[in-house]
Every structure is written in C-alpha cells, then in structure tokens.
Amino acid sequence: MTSQVRIAIIGGGIVGLTTAYYLKQSGFDNITLFDDGTGQATKAAAGIISPWLSKRRNKRWYTLAKLGAQLYSEIVATAHLSSGAYRQNGTIVTRHDSEKLAALYELALQRLADTPTMQAVEQLKPSEIETYIPGVKTPAAGILVTGGAQIDGTIFLQELTAFLGLKIIHEKVNLTATGQIDGYPVFDKIVLATGAWLAEAIAPLGLTTSVRPQKGQLISYQTPALSINTPVLMPEGEYDYLPIVNGVIVGASHEDDQGFDLTVDNTIINNLRASAGKINPQLANVAPTSVRVGTRAYTPDFAPFFGQLPDFKHIYAASGLGSSGLTTGPAIAKLLAALIIDSKIELSAYTKPITEYIN
C-alpha cells in the first residue's frame, strides 16, 4: 500500500519538490519534506529551459535535459501553475560569426525533427531581435526557438508546494549512521536532494562525494512593462537577459572559488551591470533593484548524477545539476520516483553509476 510507505525528502529545490510531485502522482501520500532553504539554487534562479542548441558532447546530459524540458507542460497543467512561475516565451541565441550561426541553425533544424517541444526555429536579423525584445541593442544575428521557456524558481516552488499540500519541516536535519533522520521516526525511503550540500548529508554514513559548490549571482531591474511573450535573450559573450513581468533579470555568474559564501560580491555585480548596459543601453546608469545569490552543485565531469546508495538501499540521492538544474531537475525527479517504485529500472541512458560520484 503506497499510503503506508513513509517517505522523507531532504531538500525542497527543483529535484526534491518535483520528486514529491511524481511520487504523489503515483499514489504515495505519506511524504515529509525537510528544507531549511539555505543558499538553495532553485529559489535564486530565473532559469532558461532551452537545452536544444547546446553543443555539450555529454549524451546522457542531453537526454536528461531534453526530457526535463518536455515534462514541464504536464507539471504546469496538472498543478495549474501561473505564467509567473513558468512560461513558454521563446529563446533567442546570438552569434557574431555568420558561419557559427549557420552551424547552430543547422543543429537546431536537426534536433527539431524529433523534438516537438522546440515548436519552431527561425533565423533573426539584429533589427528583428530588437523588435522582439524592447530596449535591446545587438550587433549580432540570432536564432529563435519558439518552444524555449522561462521559469522563476521562487514562484515555481511556491505554487507547486501549494498544489501538493506537503508537510514541510523548515529545519536542517542530519542522518544517523544507520541512514535514518536523527530525531524522527523511521522512514521507509529517504531522498537526498541536498544539492551542493550532499557531502555534509552523507558524511554520517561514512561516505564522501566529489560534488563541489559553485556560487551564482544575478541582478534584477525594473523596466517598462514587457509582454509575457517577450523571449529570453542568450547573447554571445554576455550574461543572459530574461524578461519578467515588470523588468528584466541579468545573470548569472559562475564562481568556483567561493564555497558556500552567500554574500553579495560587488565586483561580480559590477560585471553584471556592465553586461546589462551593453545589452540594453537604457540600463547603463541604472542601479539594480535586487540581487539573488545561490549555490549550485557541480561534479568534476560537469554531469548530474542520481540513484540508489549501494550500501543503503532505502536512500536515494541526486546532485551535480550545475547551471542547467532547472532543466534536468524534473527528469531526474521522475526517474528517481520510478526507481523508488521499481529498483530494477535502467538508468544508464541518463547517468553514470552513482558509485562514480559517491565513495
């Protein structure tokens, strides 16, 4: 009986919450989620869901990312999420070199052939990009993928949490040496969706991991109201430019040497401001209205991983999602939920064995 299976999920970001979603869809309703929210990458993120033009050679990553992008439409429809949480407003990617742009367009057409989620692709002149995104000035041409989407991590989590009606305990918890949560009754299944904090989470089990933290910062501006259909811009050589209801977000940074530091770094903020001014000259001398800071999780091979801990069969873990976590997160969650239901499912098309990352 699924209702009698007690499940704990540690971590309330994109993986933790969507794992709860898929478990609930499968009839599991005795789920407790633990989340202290510290430095969470999802809450700090304004993500771009558009993996199809990536030239990363990691086939497992692309398979995950492609699946993750596809899954959002079902989640959004089922949970009745708003356009503030998720919207398919298109993505524009620019290239300064015409040959590189032509190669990227060819790649887009190849992937469009078997990826309905992309919807359509179109080449754009600089003037056409500027028409799509008011205020932007670009010397480079680009490619529009109309199926590209945008997610606000904070709003997405709030709305999905409300839909699920989960029991959430807002505190930091620790595992015992036997793989239970210290101070709580025994759980039948435990999911570790702790991101960059995985090493700390599994230390009581006598395990270590190669996961490292990466700091990310982004800035927001208030601008004249933009349409919810205004595309995201991914300009070559600059930070990403994401429209929101009453402004834009610019970012995010990738800082490998800051550990778990969540303080705002003015040097990075100045770099973000300089990039914003190049993309939209109207922002050149305008102060940002807010700053977000979060901590991503990375592995040495820049690949996400997930699965069942070999010596603790009731514990499942996922980490290493990096800057594409909002894209791969739902796919990882769906597969984790499937693994909890049937431990024999095959994951090799999506991830290396978990023992490659946890020792």
Convert the pLDDT of each residue in 53-67 to its tens digit. 998 888 999 999 999
pLDDT tens by residue, 165-190: 988 999 999 999 999 999 999 999 99
Is 80 exceeded by the pLDDT of residue 41?
no
State the average pLDDT over residues 1-29.
92
Say whether pLDDT at 1 is over 60.
no
Give all domains of the chain, ordered by start, each with its CATH number: 2-43+154-211+301-356 (3.50.50.60), 89-148+213-296 (3.30.9.10)
pLDDT for the residue numbered 39? 61
pLDDT by residue (tens digit) across 281-319? 999 989 999 999 989 999 999 999 999 998 999 999 999
Per-residue pLDDT at 37 exceeds 90: no
Q: Which pLDDT score, from 0 to 100, does residue 305 have?
A: 97
Of the chain, the percentage scoring pLDDT greater than 90 comes to 83
Q: Which residues of 124-146 are buried (b: 16+ CB within 10 A; e: fewer)?
A: beeeebeebbebbebebbbbbbe
Q: Which whole number is the average pLDDT over 138-144?
A: 96
CB distance 283 to 203 below 8 Å: no
Examine the pLDDT at 154 and tell me if it is beyond 90.
Answer: no
Query: Average pLDDT, whole number, for the chain?
Result: 93
Q: Quick one: average pLDDT of 154-163?
A: 93
Q: Is the pLDDT of residue 223 over 90?
A: no
Is residue 153 very low, low, confident or very high in pLDDT (cuts 50, 70, 90)?
confident
Taking 80 as the threshold, does the pLDDT of residue 335 lie above it? Answer: yes
Is the confidence at residue 265, as pLDDT, over 70?
yes
Tell me the average pLDDT across 134-159: 94
pLDDT digits (tens, 9 = 90+) for 83-135: 989 999 999 999 999 999 999 999 999 999 999 999 999 999 999 999 999 99
Supply the pLDDT for residue 227.
83
